[in-house]
Amino acid sequence: MISAVCLGFFGSISGLVGMKCTKIGGSDKNKARIACLAGLIFILCGLCSMTGCSLYAHRITSEFFDPSFVAQK
């Protein structure tokens, strides 16, 4: 989840640089490449977030449905 947050931050920054209304980033061709890179970073961010949430949910549900799990008093 931490990697997803970090990737989301860097995706937002690169998306801001890749916008046509900013003067940072150079020509329109470079801005298009940066914006495409931002999209790929956001896709990777979503994958990291999904894997983190699904691994955590798997751990919680496996403990819930485990018949040998005895509640500690």
Q: In this predicted model, what pLDDT tens digit does every residue of 16-48 receive, in sequence order?
A: 888 888 877 788 888 889 899 999 999 999 999
Say what the pLDDT of residue 18 is: 86
Cα–Cα distance measured from residue 28 to residue 19, given in angstroms and rounded to the nearest whole number = 9
Closest CA to 18 of 5, 4, 37: 37
Q: What is the average pLDDT value for the chain, to the nearest integer? A: 84
Say what the pLDDT of residue 10 is: 92
Say what the pLDDT of residue 45 is: 94
Query: What amino acid is encoded at 68 in this protein?
Result: S
